[in-house]
Amino acid sequence: MKFYCELKKVVDDSYDIEIGRDLAETLINDIKGGLCGKIKKFAIVTDSTVEPLYVRNIFARLINEGYDTNVFVIPEGEKSKTRAMKEFVEDSMLEKGYRRDCCIIAIGGGVVSDLAGFVAGTYGRGVPFINYATTLLSAADASVGGKTAVDTPLATNLIGLFNQPKKVYIDIDTWKTLPERQLSSGLAETIKHACIADEELFSYLEANIEKILTNDKEACEYIAEHNCSVKYKVVMKDERESGLREVLNLGHTVGRAIETVSDYNLLHGEAVAIGLVAEARLGEKYGFISHENVQRVINLCVRAKLPVNIPPYIDRNALIRKLYTDKKVRDGKLRMVFQKEIGDVMCFGDNDYAKQITEPEIAQVIFEM
């Protein structure tokens, strides 16, 4: 005997991304207005830096409105993005009596949203979550698109799931408390978006990059909107990265590897900047980008106070070995995304945006840097 268990699904995971200033009030009003249905219990996941700055206000407002809320704080930094920290948050929530009728609110940067979104995807087999982004890096990339994950000792983001939030809040006001190094790190993902899809954004950055580092209101609003626009349009076309979404990986083949080999001494965006330069230099060898445009990418990263060379303490051979932990690797072969000049990407076939490369080709670039 055999049965056919038919489970075809039509899923609507659509959500709003709201960009603005001081969005705490908006968040509370949305919750009161039914953003999470009838849920009355909230778990705020945040980090030790963001908690005193932005979480206390939101926590107090939720309590004031009668919502049962607790705050779960992880130490700031990429080293918190682990399976152990996920377990810590889960166990703490279990201990506080959280069951399936709850919602997680991630308030923070990329580490918080990646970890909290992953917790939400598996807690009680899945509870809703909301992203409230407080860093440029999260606003530019992590908070939108539903990629959630933790790192492992081998490499970053290897264990996770696609899990879309109920809503994303990008609170530009919070950038004023970011140290310059964090702003620069977020700018690397912004430069990446400009390289792959938005020549106008690239020119805008060339004209205004210093303004973002000094938190100019108009410049920050401009890049918040343009980042978001590049990101969500790619995600809408290919949520699960079966093709096009790989373009968001520009700079990340080398970037993620160097981030791990640096033992997270390099911030994510710093590692991505080095990756953008390495991959542009290889792209130049293939004829995908002119020497002049590679120099524009390098100059922009330098002006954004991002590194453009591989630091001396990085073991080049370890870095080359680490490239093979990349999720784009197919049949043991390295694959890489390439920008086509500025504002476009190379396409290598039907829905194929990554080119197979050889180890000696990328090794040569790495040893030159």
110 binds ligand GLY (CB under 6 A): no
- Binding ligand GLY (rule: CB under 6 A), the pick from 108, 145, 251, 269 is 145
CB of 320 to ligand GLY, least distance (A): 23
78 binds ligand GLY (CB under 6 A): no
| Cβ proximity to ligand GLY, 147 vs 166, nearer residue | 147
Which parts of 283-342 interact with ligand GLY (CB under 6 A)? none
Residue 218, token pair as written in the block: 């108009």
Residue 215, token pair as written in the block: 């938190």
167 binds ligand GLY (CB under 6 A): no
141 binds ligand GLY (CB under 6 A): yes
- Binding ligand GLY (rule: CB under 6 A), the pick from 248, 297, 310, 342 is 248
Residue the block writes with tokens 């899809």: 197
Residues touching ligand GLY: how many (CB under 6 A)? 5
355 binds ligand GLY (CB under 6 A): no
Distance of CA 92 to CAs 89, 96, 318, Å? 5, 6, 37
81 binds ligand GLY (CB under 6 A): no
The CB-nearest residue to ligand GLY is 248
268 binds ligand GLY (CB under 6 A): no
| Cβ proximity to ligand GLY, 141 vs 171, nearer residue | 141
CB of 205 to ligand GLY, least distance (A): 19
CB of 157 to ligand GLY, least distance (A): 9
245 binds ligand GLY (CB under 6 A): yes
Distance of CA 125 to CAs 103, 107, 110, 114, 205, Å? 13, 22, 23, 17, 42
CB of 141 to ligand GLY, least distance (A): 5
- The H-assigned helical ranges of the chain are 24-32, 50, 56-64, 83-95, 110-122, 136-137, 180-197, 199-213, 217-237, 252-261, 268-286, 291-303, 316-322, 359-368
CB of 189 to ligand GLY, least distance (A): 8
147 binds ligand GLY (CB under 6 A): yes
Distance of CA 347 to CAs 190, 354, 355, Å? 21, 7, 8
220 binds ligand GLY (CB under 6 A): no
In terms of C-beta distances under 8 Å and separation of at least 24 residues, what long-range contacts does 343-352 make, across chains too? 343/194, 343/195, 343/196, 343/197, 343/198, 343/199, 343/200, 343/201, 343/202, 344/196, 344/197, 344/199, 345/196, 345/197, 345/247, 345/250, 346/283, 346/288, 351/242, 351/243, 351/244, 352/243
Residues in contact with ligand GLY by the rule CB under 6 A:
141, 145, 147, 245, 248
